[in-house]
Structures are given as C-alpha cells and as structure tokens.
Structure 1
Amino acid sequence: MVAACASGGNESIKNETAASVDAKIHDGVTTKEQVRAAYGDPVATDFTDSGHEKWVYTFTDSKQDAANFIPLYGDLHQGNHGTEKHLTVIFTGDVVWHHSMNNSAVKAKGGLF
C-alpha cells in the first residue's frame, strides 16, 4: 500500500496543544519578542478593527485517502484528510492581549465526480 503525506506551515506549532501554548503565552504578560522567540515569525499579520496587531501561525498535516490509489476510481475521485492547527495572538502594544490555539480535523475532496 502506498501512502502520500504532506505538511506545511509553521513547524514551531506542529507539536503544540492548547495547554502547551497556554503554558508559554500569558495574556497581559507575554511580549511580542517572547512570542517570536518561542514560535518564530508568523505566517500572517493583520490588524483588528480596534487597531490591535494580530499574528497568525498555521500548520497542516494531511494524508491522501487510500481510495486515491485504486486504478481508475482514484483517477476520478481524489481526497485527503488530516489536521490543521491555528495559533492566533492579538497584541495591545507590545504585550499579548488574547491568544487561542485551535486544532481541527480537515478533509478535502476533488476529482471529476
């Protein structure tokens, strides 16, 4: 049996959980430099409507469905499944205002049918 895997994003959150992030980031205490030291540069930055700076870290780990490798059927039906992690950190000035870590199951389908 052949299995194809793919991962991408910020490797620094690959093994993180909500509890492990909460142990490293404390709202109202942790600074931007401490977040950067722990997780590196974010994959995206933005600003909220109220002007707070927002940093986003993502990591995706996916595997192709076994059905992809069935002759003919796999040519028409493609799919993959895995997990996607998001760490969002919102700052007020140079200090963390709020943060959240989410880990979600993801599934994608494609093909002609």
Structure 2
Amino acid sequence: MGCLSALLLVAACASSGNESIKNETSTTVDQKIQDGVTTKDQVKAVYGDPLETSFTDSGHEIWKYVFARTRANGTNFIPYYGAFSSGYHGKAKTLIIIFNNNTVWHHTLSDSDVKTHTGIGG
C-alpha cells in the first residue's frame, strides 16, 4: 500500500511556468532588477524569455513571468466523489516588468494562493 500512496503523492503535484522565478522573493528580484538601470538584455540573461509580452496604452512594453506549483485536493482520490468534484490548490508567482524603451521602468513580484475546482459544488 505504501507504493500506491507514494505514487498518488507524486501524481498529485504539478508545476508550470518559468522556473527561473520559482525561488524568487521581492528582495531577490530587487537585487537583480533596478528601475531606471536594468536593461532588457540583462533581464533576459537572468530570467530568460517572458511567458507573455504586451504594451500599455502609452507604448511601454510589459514582460510577464509566471510560475505555479499546485497539489491535487485530497478529495480528488475519494472513489466516486473524485469523479464528480476535483480541484487543486497551491501558490503562483508572477513577475511583471514594464520597460521604458530598453530600460526597466517598474517591476513587481506577487506571490498568491491559487485554487481551482471543477464539478459539483464548483
């Protein structure tokens, strides 16, 4: 039974996104990125390509990096119940960097709780 439990634990965890921000905190990001100083090339050297890019109305370029680590809810593994109701919970980090031409204008890192649920009662 121990092997089955271990298999369920391994299958119940998932991560996605840009692993370069996985262990970052606001403090470590602030050590690597300085508003008005750090360039796009320097950001790319540290974090790689962003998950998403966009532009503000005023033309500033925005780079977005996301990393999420989730675990399956225990109720997912209850016979019959799991077939009708399932979900995940965990943490997501999002790093947003706004550039003014080639230089960082503003940046922020957020660390949020995330939950998903599908099925009955969702």
TM-score normalised by structure 2 residue count: 0.89
Aligned-partner Cα distance in 2 for 1:74–1:105? 22
> Once the two structures are aligned, what percentage of the paired residues are identical?
55
Paired residue for 2:52, among 19, 29, 44? 44
Mark the structure with the bigger radius of gyration: 2
User: How many residues were matched structurally?
Assistant: 113
Following superposition, which runs of at least 4 residues in structure 1 exceed 6 angstroms of deviation?
none
User: Shift in Å at residue 19 of structure 1?
Assistant: 1.0
1:107 aligns with 2:115: yes
Aligned-partner Cα distance in 2 for 1:95–1:39? 15
Aligned-residue RMSD, C-alpha? 0.9
1:18 aligns with 2:37: no
Q: Could you tell me which runs of 5 or more consecutive residues in structure 1 were left unpaired when the two chains were aligned.
A: none
User: Shift in Å at residue 28 of structure 1?
Assistant: 0.4
Measured against aligned partners, the alpha-carbon deviations of 1:45-76 in whole angstroms (never above 9, x if no partner) come to 11001100110000111000011001111111
Aligned-partner Cα distance in 2 for 1:111–1:53? 39
| 1:9 aligned residue | 17
Aligned-partner Cα distance in 2 for 1:84–1:59? 6
Q: Could you tell me which amino acid in structure 1 is paired with residue 83 of structure 2? A: D
TM-score normalised by structure 1 residue count: 0.96
Paired residue for 2:87, among 73, 79, 84? 79
Measured against aligned partners, the alpha-carbon deviations of 1:67-100 in whole angstroms (never above 9, x if no partner) come to 1001111111101000111000000011000000
Q: Could you tell me which runs of 5 or more consecutive residues in structure 2 were left unpaired when the two chains were aligned.
A: none
